[in-house]
Chains A and B, each alone.
Chain A
């Protein structure tokens, strides 16, 4: 968590990414100018409420969105000196799994239900590496064993629906990590799991990451999970990043009023706060015709007329950044939220 990213190599760099999605109601600007760097061996979390564009950001990077309805309209995704937005479909097939892998909330998105789990991992190894079938199968079993699947050699011959929720996520981690990719994108990997199983799976994820030295983009809406896992955090709101900080910085010194509200809206298992939680009124704006000013303005207790009119540019403060006209007045924001809680 105190991992200093200043001196670390950047493995992946996203610049001004825009992704549109066509829907019945109009074009959704699901990702609307997202930029960030992922450093070597770090865990970078993306948090934000449902529909803010976390998954579309991830799927855009891997070009996994359906072409028929979606389009990256602007920006770049640099993996080393390769711009993924310009790579062909065939090219992407060589990169996915090998250099960037992804795990999903639902294992049935990541694993094929009609193939044995072990065969899928072996197949992946066979495609990319110069090994025999037997060796690939042995390696698959070893991988399943490493992610804590009991009786791995016997389970390798089973199908994904024969696995429990926790086992499925472990198997997906084994598949994703099989080729030791530089980057792993985990989109809500434990959201469907019970907490006791979630704790196991997160531990496995960190273990595997340390062993192969990759970097992780962890997408989640659970600020507790982020606190335990992330070095740095991006807070997304309505298609944009509104704050970026080290995990410590964000939790102890959130700069954006939305980040502050979010952190104080969460009840805690280790203490009782007040009777009333900070609650952010209203709901996020539509991404079809987003407001021209700050997208949080209609819900923000600090908002002034300028907020409705002008989009706040991202301000860099040391190694953090924030997009708010009044980011230099965090205490004021807090006082307003507090007043809101009391009322």
Chain B
């Protein structure tokens, strides 16, 4: 664990037992670290294990194996009471601002719930007003209920709730996926500002690669429970080296008709396979445009030898850069 790492995840694995002897290998041997004050983007298609990774880190579900070092302690080994103490400092913001806020609680009670649990009864209203102002909500609205707010405002409430306990780490699980572009921009700008002002560390989960490029310092690309590629924003977006990253990037439409219609596109075939029975060898091999015999037999390790940043592909160095 290097000094400026706030979080180090090692060999994190989660198998869901779905009966009849079947296991969903939702997260499989995932390792990465997050530096204090940075934003790590976690991207990948539906079902690749992003939310499960988030839940494992915060111990909302128990891991099958692995370790999660947060501020120098292994969260997965902590007794519950100490875990609760640390969890104050690591918060989560969910995708659906509608589903994640209790409709029968006022905004004040939603935001104040955490501080109250921690015995911060004195000055509670001041605290609530302070975080509401910080996220751009009028503190006079504290007595209102979630349904009286628009989608973007509800997401601000979710962020205010996360901020109320002065966390150092916030995991945002698809925080803008349910929002319109104009409102999405408001929330992205807010997160950027909060991070600067409060020196927050963010893990930003999304399937939208454009949003992740905008907000992240480093990016991890997941495929079927594993990390396919991990690097700085520029390494991943300017020099993508896993065939999956490249295909994914080339599939994202660019909002410019001239660029969009003249670009070369790697079209992947089929859908991502089920994590119930992940393919042998490299999990991407059935859809990979450059797969060879070895790919179906040997699982590639996530290594930096080929291109200078971690890529899990037998032929990472062989892919010509464009």
User: Are A and B co-members of a single complex?
Assistant: yes
* Pair A277/B189 contact, Cβ less than 8 Å: yes
Cα distance A276–B192 when bound, in Å?
8
**Residues of chain A in range 223-247 having any CB-CB distance to chain B below 8 Å:** 223-228, 230, 247
Docked-complex contact B253 and A225, CB < 8 angstroms = yes
- Tell me, yes or no, whether A164 is within 8 Å of chain B by CB: yes
For residue A250, give the distance in angstroms from its CB to the closest CB of chain B: 9
Chain A residues 262 to 280 lying within 8 A of chain B, measured CB to CB, are 262-263, 265-270, 272-273, 275-280
Q: Is the CB of B249 within 8 A of A269?
A: yes
The segment from A64-72, A81-89, A197-205, A207-215 that touches chain B is A197-205
Q: Mark interface residues in A275-288 (1 if CB within 8 Å of B CB, else 0).
A: 11111110100000
Give min CB distance, A45 to chain B, whole Å: 11
The smallest C-beta distance from B141 to any residue of chain A, in angstroms, reads 14
The answer to whether the Cβ of A1 comes within 8 Å of any Cβ in the partner chain is: yes
Q: Which residues of A contact B253 (CB under 8 A)?
A: 195, 222, 224-225, 227-228
The reply to whether the CB of A261 lies closer than 8 angstroms to some CB of chain B is yes
Interface flag for B61 (CB, 8 Å): no
Chain A residues near B261: list those with CB within 8 A.
1, 227-228
Contacts of B45 in A (CB 8 A): 194-196
For residue A166, CB closer than 8 A to chain B, the reply is yes
A223 CB contacts on chain B under 8 angstroms: 181, 255
Question: Cβ of B182 and Cβ of A228 under 8 Å apart?
Answer: no
Query: Closest residue of chain A to B207, judged by CB?
Result: A194
Q: Does B19 contact A (CB under 8 A)?
A: no
**Judging by beta carbons under 8 Å apart, are A270 and B271 in contact?**
no
Give bound CA distance, A254 to B251, whole Å.
Answer: 25
Q: Across the interface, which residues of B come within 8 angstroms of A273, CB to CB? A: 214
B215, closest chain A residue (CB): A267
On whether A224 and B192 interact (CB within 8 A), knowing A248-B257, A265-B181, the answer reads no
Task: From B153, B184, B255, give the contact of A263 (CB < 8 A).
Answer: B255
Chain B 286-313 against A: per-residue CB contact (8 Å), 1 yes, 0 no?
A: 0000000000000000000000000000
Mark contacts of B235-271 with chain A using CB atoms, 8 A cut-off: 1 yes-contact digit, 0 otherwise. Answer: 0010000000001110111111111110001011101
Q: A308 within 8 Å of B by Cβ?
A: no
Residues of A contacting B209 in the complex (Cβ-Cβ under 8 angstroms): 195, 269
* In-complex Cβ contact of A269 among B181, B215, B252, B271 (8 A): B252
Contact status A228-B213, CB under 8 Å = no
Instruction: Kindly state the separation between the CA atoms of A277 and B211 in the bound complex, as whole angstroms.
Output: 11
Q: Which B residue's beta carbon lies closest to that of A276?
A: B189
A50 on interface, CB distance cutoff 8 Å? yes
**Count of interface residues, chain B, beta-carbon cutoff 8 Å:** 45
Instruction: Flag if A247 contacts B257 (CB, 8 Å).
Output: yes
List chain A residues, Cβ under 8 A from B46.
194
> Which residues of B lie under 8 Å from residue A203 when comparing CB positions?
267
Number of interface residues of A (CB under 8 A): 46
A165 at the interface (CB under 8 A from B): yes
Chain B nearest CB, measured from A224 CB (Å): 3
Alpha-carbon separation in the docked complex, A279 to B251 (Å): 25
A195 and B258 contact, CB distance less than 8 A = no
Q: How far does the Cβ of B208 sit from chain A's closest Cβ, in whole Å?
A: 8
Contact check, A270 vs B189: say whether CB atoms are below 8 A apart. Answer: no
A contact residues around B192 at 8 Å (CB):
275-276
Q: Are A221 and B180 in contact (CB under 8 A)?
A: yes
Q: Would you call B182 and A269 a contact (CB within 8 A)?
A: no
| Structural contact, A279 and B254, CB atoms closer than 8 A | no
Residues of B within 8 A of A195 (CB): 45, 207, 209, 248, 251-253
Q: Is the CB of B257 within 8 A of A198?
A: no
* Residue of B with least CB distance to A190: B253
Closest CB of chain B to A6's CB: distance in Å?
Answer: 19
Asked if A50 and B180 sit within 8 Å, CB to CB, the answer is yes
Inter-chain contacts of A311 with B (CB < 8 A): none
Q: How far is the CA of A283 from the CA of B150 in the complex (A)?
A: 7
Q: Which residue of B lies closest to A195 (CB)?
A: B251
A251 within 8 A of B: yes
**Chain B proximity of A156: nearest CB distance (Å):** 19
Q: Give the shortest distance, in Å, between B62 (CB) and chain A (any CB).
A: 28
B residues in contact with A188, CB < 8 Å: none
Q: How far is it, in angstroms, between the C-alpha of A270 and the C-alpha of B258 when the chains are bound?
A: 13
Contact partners of B151 in chain A: CB under 8 A: 50
Contacts of B186 in A (CB 8 A): 279-281
Evaluate contact between B183 and A266: CB separation under 8 angstroms.
no
In the complex, whether B275 has a CB less than 8 A from a CB of chain A is no
A197, A269, A278: the one contacting B185 at CB < 8 Å is: A278
Nearest residue, chain B, Cβ from A226: B255
A145 at the binding interface (Cβ < 8 Å): no
State whether A221 and B251 are in contact (beta carbons under 8 Å apart), knowing that A199-B265, A283-B150 are contacts in the complex.
Answer: no
Quick check: A266 and B255 within 8 Å, CB to CB? yes
Enumerate A108-144 residues with CB–CB distance to B below 8 Å. Answer: none
Residues of A within 8 A of B211 (CB): 267
Contact of B181 among A198, A247, A262, A281 (CB under 8 A): A262
Does A49 sit within 8 A of B, measured CB to CB? Answer: yes
Q: How far is the CA of A276 from the CA of B188 in the complex (A)?
A: 8
Whether B210 sits at the interface, judged by CB under 8 Å, is: yes
Which of A262, A269, A275 has the most chain B CB atoms inside 10 A of its CB? Answer: A269
Question: Which residue, of B182, B251, B269, has the highest number of chain A Cβ atoms within 10 A?
Answer: B182
Given A167-B271, A196-B268, 8 more contacts at CB 8 Å? A224-B252, A227-B256, A227-B260, A267-B210, A269-B210, A269-B249, A272-B213, A279-B182
Mark B residues whose CB is within 8 Å of A: 45-46, 150-153, 180-186, 188-189, 192, 207, 209-211, 213-215, 233, 237, 247-249, 251-261, 265, 267-269, 271-272
10 A-B pairs closest in CB distance: A224-B253, A267-B214, A279-B185, A280-B182, A265-B185, A49-B180, A277-B185, A194-B45, A199-B251, A279-B186
